[in-house]
Amino acid sequence: MKDIELNISDIHSLGRDQAFEILNQISRVEKKTFPANEAFSFCEELWRKKPNTKVLYATSAASDIRSPLVAYAVYVRQKGIALLHKICVAESYRQQGAGKQLMSYIKQRLQREGCQCIQLWVDKARIAARGLYIKFGFEEREEIANYYAPGRTGIKMILNIDNGCP
Ligand SMILES: CC(C)(COP(=O)(O)OP(=O)(O)OC[C@H]1O[C@@H](n2cnc3c(N)ncnc32)[C@H](O)[C@@H]1OP(=O)(O)O)[C@@H](O)C(=O)NCCC(=O)NCCS
């Protein structure tokens, strides 16, 4: 199948009403995708008060698609390190290259902004996500049993940009 064409941006580039509309769409996908204890709160606070928390969103470049949210990601910058909290593609758009395009955008943007290291935690059972991270050069550094919940192991992964990971 041909890769989906995306427009990628971040919610801080939007005006208030548009940003809240996108945050609502993200919330709906988040609730469908993650268990309640892992679902991130995409509330208006994120837009108003947390400039270090970046919420990226991707919409289809095809104008005929009515519900446009395809994917989103959240990261937090702490000096030269970015913590990638979340990357998610809405279920009906998976395996069409959206995850790759969003990850590529994140990597290039962070590199351009002087970030030296990207870190994340992933559930060992999330095979698709781990495959995506490995493809982009992330390395598995640490495993913690019962990290997410009893029986669910967490893996810490890092992507070293300019030898900047501690
Ligand atoms: C992980 C996720 C973002 C991948 O998005 P996607 O748009 O489907 O991925 P792409 O089509 O761009 O594929 C990128 C790579 O991911 C891996 N991948 C994707 N789906 C896969 C699957 N079902 N099984 C194994 N590997 C998979 C492959 O390495 C793939 O590269 P390839 O196509 O060259 O083999 C998506 O599956 C998702 O949103 N999952 C639920 C949320 C989640 O687990 N997020 C991560 C934790 S926050």
Instruction: Give the chain's end-to-end CA distance (angstroms, integer).
Output: 40
Residues sharing a CB contact under 8 Å with residue 24, sequence separation 6 or more, in sequence order: 42
Q: Supply the pLDDT for residue 30.
A: 94
Q: Is residue 35 part of a domain?
A: yes
Asked if 52 contacts 76 with a C-beta cutoff of 8 angstroms, the reply is yes
Give the domain CATH number at 136: 3.40.630.30
CA 140/CA 158 separation, integer angstroms: 7
Q: Identify the pLDDT of residue 64.
A: 60
Cα(105)–Cα(127) distance, integer angstroms: 21
* pLDDT computed for residue 162 by the predictor: 79
How many angstroms is it from 91 CA to the middle of ligand 1? 10
Asked, for residue 166, whether it belongs to a domain, the answer is no
With respect to residue 58, please indicate whether it lies within any of the assigned structural domains. yes
Ligand 1 contact, 100 CB (< 6 A): yes
How many domains does the chain contain in total? 1
Residue 165, in any domain of the structure: no
Contact 74, 53 (CB under 8 A): yes
Residue 22 belongs to a domain: yes
Q: Cα(124) to centroid of ligand 1, in Å?
A: 14
Candidates 1, 49, 48, 42; CA nearest to 21 is: 42
Distance between CA 32 and CA 106 in Å, rounded? 23
128 CB near ligand 1 (under 6 Å): yes
* Distance (Å) from CA 126 to ligand 1 centroid: 9
Q: Give the pLDDT confidence score for residue 66 in this predicted structure.
A: 60
**CB-based contact 3:97 (threshold 8 Å):** yes
Quote the domain boundaries for residue 17: 6-160
Nearest-CA residue for atom 5 of ligand 1: 99
Q: Please work out whether the CB of residue 130 comes within 6 Å of at least one atom of ligand 1.
A: no
Amino acid identity of residue 97, one-letter, is: G
Cα distance between residue 18 and residue 44, in whole Å: 11
Residue 87 near ligand 1, beta carbon < 6 Å: yes
pLDDT (tens digit, 0 to 9) for every residue of the chain, 166 residues total?
789 999 999 998 888 888 889 999 999 999 999 998 888 888 777 777 777 889 999 999 886 656 589 999 999 998 899 999 999 999 999 999 999 999 999 999 999 999 999 999 999 999 999 999 999 999 999 999 999 999 999 999 999 987 778 8
Q: Is 51 within a domain?
A: yes
Pocket flag, ligand 1, residue 86 (CB < 6 Å): yes
For residue 16 and ligand 1, the question of a CB distance below 6 A is answered with no
Rounded Cα gap, residues 165 and 118, in angstroms: 8
User: How far away, in angstroms, is 122 Cα from ligand 1 center?
Assistant: 13
Token pair belonging to 53 = 């928390």
